[in-house]
Amino acid sequence: MQKKRFAVGVLLILILLHLVPLIPVSADLALAQEGQAVASAEGAPLKATFSAPKLKPEDYPSFGWVSSREAVWVAAQLHLFFGAFVLAVPIFVLVFEGIGITTKDERYDHIAHEIMKVSMTAFSFTALSGGLLTFFLITLYPDFTKYLMRLFQPTVIFYILAFIAEALFCYTYYYSWDALRYGTRKWIHLTLGLLLNVSGMTILFIANAWTGFMMTPVGVDAAGTPVSDTVWAVIRNPLWNPLNLHRFIANLAYGGAIVGAYAAYKFLSSATPEEKAHYDWMGYTANLIAISTLLPLPFAGYILMAEIYAYSQQMGITAMGGIFAWLFIVQAVLIGAIFLGANYYLWCGMEKISGAERYTAAIKYIGAVIIVAFLVWLTPHTIIMTAMEMMKIGGSHSALLGPLGIMPAKNTAANTLILFTFLSFFLYRRANKAPTVPWVKTGTIIMTAFFAIAWINIILLGIYGYLVPTAYKVRSSVPQVISTLSVIFVLIVLDIIMHRKAKSLGPIQWGKMPPRSQYALAILAVSFTWLMALMGYIRSGIRQHWHIYTIMRDASPDAYTPAIAHAVLISTIVTVIFLALVIFCFWIAQISTVKQAPIPQIAGASESHGRKHEDLS
Amino acid sequence: MKTFLKLLAVCAIVLAAYTLYPMSLPQQTAEPPPLEEKIGALTMDKFIEIGKDIFDGKRGGFGGCVLCHDPKLGRAPDLVNMNSVSEKRLKDPRYKGKSKSVEEYLRESMIEPAAFVVAGFGVAGTNDTQSPMMNISQYLKPWEVNATIAYLQTKDGGEATVQPPTGEESPGGQAGAAGGVAAAPAASARTPQEFFQKYGCGACHKHEKGGIAGAVATDLTHVGTAAMKRKPGTPAKDYIRESILNPTAFIVPGQAPIMPPGYGEKMLASEIEMIVVFLVDSK
């Protein structure tokens, strides 16, 4: 018992260590600290006296046969895809393993082991793509890479150490699965998993510091000379923690989606009901991870964008109102497709649950609300049009639809989308249970009223946004988010309490899923991947012609901001490469379980050869 | 294998749709600003023209002042009559900068925007003590800042006090800041008739009192009456001003959008206000 307590204590401390870097740093705070650093540095001699090089086009080597930017773009995005996947997988594998220990349900342990097996080859691809990216950066952008690495020198060493640690823990964790299966050994295995996650998260946080600095540099003067002799001044840039938070949540959603696609393929190709049941459950669990982490993702994205605006209004406007504005409409289409796909999968899943028929009528209304919210989200305010198009709609924006293009409408739509997706999930999880507590009716009324009031509050706050100046429009989004999150929290808690000792209305018939639901899972994975590529481009692209925003100019021939078609083509190419490699990972995982039966003729030949050998002797 | 191929086909179709949809959208490539530029000597007119290009986002390492300082968007204060406005702000008790002249105030506003924050435009929660505007010297060279000052000083009929570069300064260096020769801005139209003549409105529009008789675009003789009904909820004055400054915002049904966009930017603010009042009264 004491060993268990000790292990739980270690786990908690490590989890807390994980969360510490997530404490938000606002742009104002970071800039204020930078000011302090400058003030304190004025009195003391600086250790580092280098500055950002001022480059000319001839300072950039080139392969000739491929554009330098495209080479780095593809390698970086590929590395990010694999990195996101292999960072996310150990997190929920660890959670599954923990749930398996707590519930003593072997299924969780099996699914955790299988997911880990599938991701093992992906670890190698992460390292390969990382190596390729480093090669391209050193070869094609040597001065920039040298400056950045010199600035972040101590973190580079930590990065390498964390990488080595991750590799060691990853292989030990996976290959010791069966050796450390029960009792205290299982807790040791769990700790190995946690250490794997700590190494992975350390890598993520260090890389985010570099990326954040490129967008929102602090701790250096206008020439790029460090104003402090501590690397912390440049690490703690305004985008560091928003990136940490956003990527952490997004990686989980992404990892869930990829595992869901694997489960979908396995489900469709399964021959036996047992296999189908297993992969149906795996698909459901993966989708659950994807949805539950997708719900807070828009809020994390909002924090990220708010910090970009706070650091540089110019950069924010470039993203949301300039050359990148159309891509945010494309993003809305993708996010809408993801939400619809995830909901559709849940609705299909309700067909296999006895008792779910109670909620069938509600689905069409939930669907209608989600579609309306989706359409509002993707409605642009002002778009580039031809004169004839303008004449047809009567101006640069439609009098009827134009108002739906501004932030109050978008925030209301996003919160509605999240709220009703949560409702789908909420109905799914309680579908086959009938509560037995005496306060069922009162509890249901409270939950319904809470949901309705929160939604009305979200809509009224949206309308309020139209009546006040721009600065106050943004503020109303905060209570909207609080309304949404409070619904999720209150309803889940009440529902758990209400369903204690609930009566079952029948078993969930795992495996009885229509094939179309599995295609929805596959589409989710494709949509997530492509969306990540697109948003990665936007985030990086809004620096425009700067390697490090306003500090180090990109003087290469590729410093221009490409057109939308160019950007989406690269996004598609890298998505196809990644999906092809992921399919290879799945195939490798599958083939490792296949054992060839002995061929009779060869067996005979072997015997004959053995006899000859005996004769000779 | 069949299942795998079916799954692959569905994914390929989805991916193709995601790729083709953005390809059908308007395409635009943004070129970076030039790395180095030998500006040489500039005339005052050219200097002001460069300032206007910077303001409109056609030059400089950023999207232009107009991205925020656009009265239609309300993101930042409207920059009209900056000579007189700056003088008032220098006397304002809330002003905490060190400038003594309009020119210095305008430069200070671009480099240290917090020196004076126009009421209602400060960072939320700071009671207008902090400005959301960035330090513009990160994006513009000193002579470009001066060109923008020259444009702001002259665009509404005032005089420029900054000197254009003579070609003898160090690259990117300060152009002379004091005692500049004023550019000769185009004479301001004093009457609606002068306005119509100056801007060639008669080529397309008709206005009986205004003395123009074009037949290509809307007859403006009674535009004051029509403007009241054109956009429900929009006062006639605002509608007419918008039609001049942003003609594509509303196209009269049945009319082709032939009014050149950006035309209003050639006009002086005082002229625009005069013609708006005249047209509103044209009933």
pLDDT reading at B262 higher than 80? no
Return the pLDDT at B180.
31
- Residue among A267, A271, A277 at smallest CA distance from A511: A277
Element (H, E) at B213: strand B212-213
pLDDT in tens, A60-97: 998 888 899 999 999 999 999 999 999 999 998 999 99
Return the pLDDT at B184.
36
Return the pLDDT at A34.
46
The residue among A601 and A226 whose pLDDT is bigger is A226
Contact A522 B11 (CB under 8 A): yes
Contact A564 B27 (CB under 8 A): yes
**Residue corresponding to tokens 């067996």:** A603
pLDDT reading at A322 higher than 70? no
pLDDT band at A332 (very low <50, low <70, confident <90, very high): confident
pLDDT in tens, B65-89: 876 787 766 668 889 889 889 999 9
Percent of chain B at pLDDT > 70 equals 76
pLDDT reading at B31 higher than 70? yes
Q: What integer is the mean pLDDT of B7-34? A: 86
Return the pLDDT at A199.
95
- Beta bridge partners, B231, equal none
**Minimal Cβ distance to A390: which of B3, B22, B251:** B251
Contact B18 A264 (CB under 8 A): no
Structure tokens at B232: 């429900």
**Residue corresponding to tokens 């799914």:** A428
Mutate: best of A258, A396, A477, partner B, most B CBs <10 A: A396
At how many degrees (to 10) do helices B269-280 and B223-230 cross? 90
Rounded CA separation A226/A229 (Å): 7
Rounded CA separation B29/A566 (Å): 9
Sign for the pseudo-dihedral over CA of A436, A439, A440, A446: negative
| Least confident segment among A242-251, A395-404, A588-597, B190-199 | A395-404
Contact B22 A564 (CB under 8 A): yes
pLDDT in tens, B83-96: 889 999 999 988 98
pLDDT reading at B125 higher than 80? no
Contact A565 B139 (CB under 8 A): no
Percent of chain A at pLDDT > 70 equals 85
| Least confident segment among A448-452, A533-537, B166-170, B233-237 | B166-170
Structure tokens at A1: 């018992």
The residue among A595 and A367 whose pLDDT is bigger is A367
**Minimal Cβ distance to A390: which of B14, B124, B248:** B248
pLDDT band at B169 (very low <50, low <70, confident <90, very high): low
pLDDT in tens, B247-256: 777 777 766 6
Return the pLDDT at A36.
47
Note if the pTM is more than 0.80: no
Sign for the pseudo-dihedral over CA of A544, A547, A552, A558: negative
Rounded to the nearest angstrom, the gap between the alpha carbon of residue A227 and the centroid of all alpha carbons in its chain is: 34
Q: What integer is the mean pLDDT of A441-454? A: 94
Amino acid letter, B195: F
B258: closest chain A residue by CA: A387
Q: What integer is the mean pLDDT of B164-171? A: 66
Distances from the Cα of A371 to the Cα of A364, A374, A456, B13, angstroms: 10, 5, 18, 21
Return the pLDDT at A46.
45
Contact B35 A264 (CB under 8 A): no
Return the pLDDT at A264.
93
Percent of chain A at pLDDT > 90 equals 53
The residue among B163 and B257 whose pLDDT is bigger is B163
Do the strands B206-207 and A552-553 form a parallel or antiparallel pair, or are they unpaired?
unpaired
Amino acid letter, B87: E
Return the pLDDT at B181.
31
pLDDT band at B260 (very low <50, low <70, confident <90, very high): low
Distances from the Cα of A592 to the Cα of A179, A250, A338, A583, angstroms: 19, 30, 32, 14
The residue among B55 and A245 whose pLDDT is bigger is A245
Contact B132 A563 (CB under 8 A): no
Instruction: Please report the beta strands in A496-606, taking only residues with DSSP state E, as ranges in sequence order.
Output: 503-504, 546-548, 552-553
Check residue B117 and report its DSSP letter.
-
Task: Round the average pLDDT of chain B to a whole number and report it.
Answer: 78
Q: Give DSSP secondary structure letters for A61-86.
A: ---SSS-HHHHHHHHHHHHHHHHHHH
Q: How many CB atoms lie within 10 A of CB A559?
A: 20
pLDDT band at B215 (very low <50, low <70, confident <90, very high): low
pLDDT in tens, A15-70: 554 444 444 444 444 444 444 444 444 444 445 578 899 998 999 998 888 899 99
What are the backbone angles phi and psi of residue A548, rounded to the nearest 5°? -120, 120
Do the strands B206-207 and A546-548 form a parallel or antiparallel pair, or are they unpaired?
unpaired
What are the backbone angles phi and psi of residue B27, rounded to the nearest 5°? -105, 140
- Residue among B139, B144, B152, B136 at smallest CA distance from B172: B144
3-class DSSP state of A149: helix
Rounded CA separation A191/A187 (Å): 6
Sort out which chain A residues have CB atoms less than 8 A from B11's CB and list them: 522-523, 526, 579
Rounded CA separation A506/A10 (Å): 40
Return the pLDDT at A605.
53
B30: closest chain A residue by CA: A561
| Least confident segment among A389-398, A440-449, A587-596 | A389-398
- Beta bridge partners, B219, equal B206
3-state secondary structure A511-543: CCCCHHHHHHHHHHHHHHHHHHHHHHHHHHHCC
Mutate: best of A572, A573, A575, A590, partner B, most B CBs <10 A: A572
- Beta bridge partners, A433, equal A504
**Residue corresponding to tokens 């220098």:** B90
Contact A321 B67 (CB under 8 A): yes
Q: What integer is the mean pLDDT of B23-30? A: 80
Structure tokens at A82: 């694999």
- Beta bridge partners, A508, equal A353
With b for 16 or more beta-carbon neighbours within 10 A and e for fewer, the B112-127 pattern comes to bbbbbbbeebbbeeee
Task: Round the average pLDDT of chain A to a whole number and report it.
Answer: 85
> Torsion angle, CA of B66/B72/B75/B76, rounded to 10 degrees?
60
pLDDT band at B37 (very low <50, low <70, confident <90, very high): low
pLDDT band at A3 (very low <50, low <70, confident <90, very high): low
pLDDT band at B171 (very low <50, low <70, confident <90, very high): very low
pLDDT band at A279 (very low <50, low <70, confident <90, very high): very high
Query: From the CA atom positions of chain B, what is the Rg in Å?
Result: 24
**A485 Cβ partners below 8 Å, 6+ apart?**
A296, A299
3-state secondary structure B49-88: HHHHHHHHCCCCCCCCHHHCCCCCCCCCCCCCCHHHHHHH
Return the pLDDT at B168.
63
| Least confident segment among A321-325, A415-419, A441-445, B161-165 | A321-325
Rounded CA separation A508/A346 (Å): 13
**Minimal Cβ distance to B30: which of A56, A268, A561:** A561
Return the pLDDT at A527.
94
CB of A28 within 8 A of CB of A241?
no
